[in-house]
Amino acid sequence: MKLSIYIQELLKKKSGCNLRLPSDIEVLTLDIESKTDEHLGVNTMKRLLGLIDDERTPRTSTLDIIAHYLGYDNWDVLSKLDDKSNSDFDGQEDEIRVDTLTTGQRIQVEYLPDRRIVMQYQGNRHFVVMESENSKLRHGDELELTHLVKGYPMLVNQVLRNGASLGSYTAGKTQGIIFKLL
């Protein structure tokens, strides 16, 4: 079994690695162990990330460790977010790739329970929050992200507030987001 693109993206974001080279996988497994006190073998992760061709089904405990590392109670909870198992985000009508936007375009993003933000594209994968309701993001925050996918969390690589980095941010962790171009 190979992990879906969505879960691979979560792992890349959390670990800060591209996860393309064997050394990236070693860094990932060490990070998983340091953050969860649970061990995953390097070859197991290589199989799950498709660096080793192997269709074995991983143990539930292995998948639970990945879920714990990503901040979820167990694999069942995480996999509900990824209902398009092994999806490669082909649904273009449900996805915005940031590099296709023009400077000044606005996007409204909503997520549960009652969150709404409007952000304006600044170019080079950067946005400024123009409106924010019930969100930790504030008017004027600068966001860096690469894409939005309906029904999936919004993965923000970096949030800047008054020029200071607040780190990464995930909106809509539980049920994903919806969005529309304004």
- Give the pTM: 0.51
pLDDT given at position 116: 94
pLDDT digit string (tens) for 101-119?
Answer: 999 999 999 988 789 999 9
Q: Contact at 8 Å (CB) between 155 and 174?
A: no
Residue 86 has pLDDT above 70, yes or no: no
Higher pLDDT, 58 or 88: 58
% pLDDT > 70, the chain: 93
The pLDDT value given to residue 51: 84
Can you give the pLDDT at residue 87? 43
Q: Which residue has the tokens 């992990």?
A: 3
What sign for the dihedral angle of Cα 3, 15, 9, 133?
positive
pLDDT tens across 63-82, in order?
999 999 998 888 888 877 76
DSSP 106-164: EEEEEETTTEEEEEEEEETTEEEEEEEESSS--TT-EEE-SEEEBTS-EEEEEEEETTE
pLDDT single digits (tens) 37-65: 999 999 999 999 888 877 788 999 999 99
Share of the chain above pLDDT 90, in %: 52
Contacts of 42 (CB under 8 A, 6+ apart): 22, 25, 26, 29
